[in-house]
Amino acid sequence: MNLLEIKNLGISFGGLRAVDDFNLTIREGQLYGLIGPNGAGKTTVFNLLTGVYRPTTGKIFLKGQNITGKSSIEINKAGIARTFQNIRLFKNMTVLENVKVGLHNRENYGVISSLLKLPGYRAAERRIEERAMELLQVFSLEEDAHHLASNLPYGKQRKLEIARALASAPTLLLLDEPAAGMNPQETAELMEMIRFVQKKFDVTILLIEHDMKLVLGICEEITVLNFGCLLAQGETASVLKDPRVIKAYLGD
Amino acid sequence: MKNDIVKSEKKSNITGSSLLIRILVVVGIYALVSALMLTGNMSRSWESLSIRICFNVILALSLNLVVGFLGELSLGHAGFYAVGAYAGSMFAVYTDFPMFVRIIGAVLVGALSAGIAGFLISSSILKLKGDYLAIVTLAFGEIIRSFVKILPGTGGTAGLSGIPAFPSRYVGFTFAYAFVILTLIILKCFINSRHGRAVTAIRDNVISAEMLGININRYKVTVFVIASVLAGVAGVIFSFFKTMIEPNDFSYNLSIEILVMVVIGGMGNLTGSIIAAGVIVVVPELLRALEDYRMLMYAIVLIAVMLINESPKKAQFIERYSPKVLLKKLLRKGEKKSESA
């Protein structure tokens, strides 16, 4: 079944067409890659998908439901969560609290019941604590649970961001350059982790990446963007051999 | 696995005893002050200072929720304080219930009116951030003050007099102290809930918070309403303490002073706000002997506190001697003893 369908998506900033006539279909359970040279519009696509920008043309469907032009909050509730190219953690909160914020909408006790500490509040807080610790264990961050997020080393910050995104129980997880700034060994570990996460949380993943080894290693299919336009689409290995793709990356 | 259980047990043990310590501190301060008051060992000026500290603590704590936890600079806190003070004291002046009912009624009316003001103002400034929000809140604070001057029944620039006073300073202190504790409980509960985490998340990173499905606008309004309700209560206590209020009691200087308390106590640090509010109320009184140099010394004291707050030596000191750490050491010693025995 198709989880995500993007049809003729486009956005212009003034006279600049940042993304133009972009089409993409992702099936449930896929690990999909989105690549392209710098400035191709990859992150813009993510921003369109998560409601940061409103598309000027085109439509986005998640599980057949039209989510075009909806707010980030509604889109998150519909089932999309993301990480950021430049890590955006809640730096002055602990690692555990970061994940707990991700669990925000999984419990819905009101302000009053938190002020009066009603029984419902206590039970919900206990569930939140348990779930958050479980998530941290999956990413082997439980030792750091009570450290400030800003004190984590870079690799762990990346992991925490993924854990936090998964906490909101998405069906589609968007990873924006998860391997940026990592050495080859860390990247290899990350590849394993992404595969593991996809199985464990039964989530579909769309990722932007520049590390071709990683893309070739885990993505079944990819889409290549160049200057906001779709350049090539299909099975990873064959797309990467496409002369147009090589030309876009390396020039003539 | 077994190890984990032991660890969590230890942890709950420590949080249990730190709760005990908190209760002891709260009761201890109250017992000390009331003992001094009731035995007549406290001078009149210190009696009124103790009440003034109380409503300033409430102001600082509530502003800390906005500035320290939500991360928005609000310079109009005196405005909500004024709404609470005027609404509450007008209720008390123009009604004829028994004293007790008038006080409770005044608190409810003051809190409600300040809450409504907080709701209206915060929902009109949702699109503003940073400096712009600061300027607009500053303006709203002044608008409220000017509005009070022309509104019928407020006594205009001459002020509203005839507000019933607390039966005694001791009763006043007890009343104010109770509301300080209530404020603390409300803020602690709010901050440690999913709502409090959402608010702190908004401060740390708006975009991430939004992507995780947190309704930014709703939380901004919620925080402003809670803060202004609390400021309103502080206003009512203030008016019963002073028995006569005038618009100049609520000028923007006061907003700045409350902000100074929050900044000196540390953003997002409730204990710090309490201590800073106490210091800022008491220091000018202590410096009274210096006469002309009073405000100069006051400024120097503030700068010194800021420098000390930022110094690494202070962090070291707290690491070694904070009550929590001392308690842990004690527990560890006790364990070792029981082990060796």
Question: Of A157, A109, A101, A171, which is closest to residue A132 (Cα–Cα)?
Answer: A101
Q: How many Cβ pairs closer than 8 A exist between chain A and B?
A: 91
Q: Give the integer Cα–Cα distance in Å for A96 and A156.
A: 13
Q: Which of A52, A88, A107 sits opposite B194 (nearest CB)?
A: A107
Considering A167, A200, A233, which residue would you say is the last residue of a domain? A167
* CATH value at residue A53: 3.40.50.300
ipTM computed for the complex: 0.89
- Does the pLDDT of residue B140 top 70, yes or no? yes
A108 and A142, same domain (yes or no)? yes
Which pLDDT score, from 0 to 100, does residue A146 have? 92
Q: pLDDT tens digit string along B218-265?
A: 999 999 999 999 999 999 999 999 999 999 999 989 999 999 999 888
Inter-chain CB proximity A92 and B210 less than 8 Å: no
Which pLDDT score, from 0 to 100, does residue B15 have? 57
A15 and A71, same domain (yes or no)? yes
A252 and A191, same domain (yes or no)? yes
What six digits make up the tokens of A107? 């419990």
Q: Give the integer Cα–Cα distance in Å for A120 and A133.
A: 20
Alpha-helix residue ranges (DSSP H) falling in B164-212: 169-191, 194-204, 206-211
A190 and A150, same domain (yes or no)? no
Inter-chain CB proximity B194 and A164 less than 8 Å: no
Would A184 be classed as within a structural domain? Answer: yes
Angle, vertex CA A98, rays to CA A96 and CA A100, nearest 5: 70
**pTM given for the model:** 0.87
A17 and A67, same domain (yes or no)? yes
Strands (E), chain A: 2-13, 16-27, 31-35, 57-62, 65-66, 80-82, 172-176, 204-208, 221-226, 229-235
Inter-chain CB proximity A77 and B213 less than 8 Å: yes
Q: Which residues contact A183 (CB under 8 A, 6 or more apart)?
A: none
A187 and A204, same domain (yes or no)? yes
Q: Which of B193, B194, B210 sits opposite A72 (nearest CB)?
A: B210
Q: How many domains does chain A have?
A: 2
Would A115 be classed as within a structural domain? Answer: yes
What six digits make up the tokens of B155? 């006594």
* Whether the Cβ atoms of residue A173 and residue A165 lie closer than 8 Å to each other: yes
Q: How would you label B147-183 residue by residue, b for 16+ Cβ within 10 Å and e otherwise?
A: ebeeeeebbeeebbeebeebeebbebbbbbbebbeeb
The contact set of B with A (CB < 8 A) is 186, 189-190, 192-198, 200-201, 203-205, 207-215, 222, 268
- The series of mean pLDDT values per 10 residues for chain A, 252 residues long, is 89 89 91 90 92 92 90 92 92 94 89 84 91 92 92 91 93 92 88 91 92 89 90 88 85 72
Inter-chain CB proximity A97 and B203 less than 8 Å: no
Looking at the complex, report in whole angstroms how far the Cα of residue B185 sits from the nearest Cα belonging to chain A: 8
Inter-chain CB proximity A168 and B207 less than 8 Å: no
Would A85 be classed as within a structural domain? Answer: no
Which pLDDT score, from 0 to 100, does residue B267 have? 87
- Top residue of A72, A82, A112 to mutate, by most chain B CBs within 10 Å, is A72
In the sheet that holds A80-82, the strands lie side by side as A80-82, A172-176, A204-208, A31-35, A221-226, A229-235
Q: pLDDT tens digit string along B267-292?
A: 888 999 999 999 889 888 888 777 77
Considering A143, A167, A191, which residue would you say is the last residue of a domain? A167
Q: Give the integer Cα–Cα distance in Å for A239 and A235.
A: 6
Which pLDDT score, from 0 to 100, does residue A102 have? 93
Would A116 be classed as within a structural domain? Answer: yes
- Top residue of B1, B208, B218 to mutate, by most chain A CBs within 10 Å, is B208
Which pLDDT score, from 0 to 100, does residue A111 have? 86
A69 and A191, same domain (yes or no)? yes
Would A235 be classed as within a structural domain? Answer: yes
- Top residue of B212, B215, B226, B267 to mutate, by most chain A CBs within 10 Å, is B212
Inter-chain CB proximity B208 and A100 less than 8 Å: no
A117 and A144, same domain (yes or no)? yes
A127 and A236, same domain (yes or no)? no
Inter-chain CB proximity A97 and B200 less than 8 Å: yes
A23 and A140, same domain (yes or no)? no
In a 3-state reduction of DSSP, which class is residue A41?
coil
Inter-chain CB proximity A115 and B209 less than 8 Å: no
Considering A167, A198, A217, which residue would you say is the last residue of a domain? A167
Would A202 be classed as within a structural domain? Answer: yes
Q: pLDDT tens digit string along A133-180?
A: 999 999 989 999 999 999 999 889 999 999 999 999 999 999 999 988
A148 and A108, same domain (yes or no)? yes
CA distances from A201 to A173, A183, A186, B199 (A): 10, 26, 22, 28
A233 and A108, same domain (yes or no)? no
**Longest Cα separation, chain B:** 77
Would A237 be classed as within a structural domain? Answer: yes
Angle, vertex CA B40, rays to CA B39 and CA B44, nearest 5: 150
Q: What structural domains does chain B harbor? A: 17-270 (1.10.3470)
Would A13 be classed as within a structural domain? Answer: yes
**Chain A residues in contact with B222 (beta carbon < 8 A):** 111
Task: Domain of residue A140: give its range.
Answer: 90-167
Inter-chain CB proximity A111 and B189 less than 8 Å: no
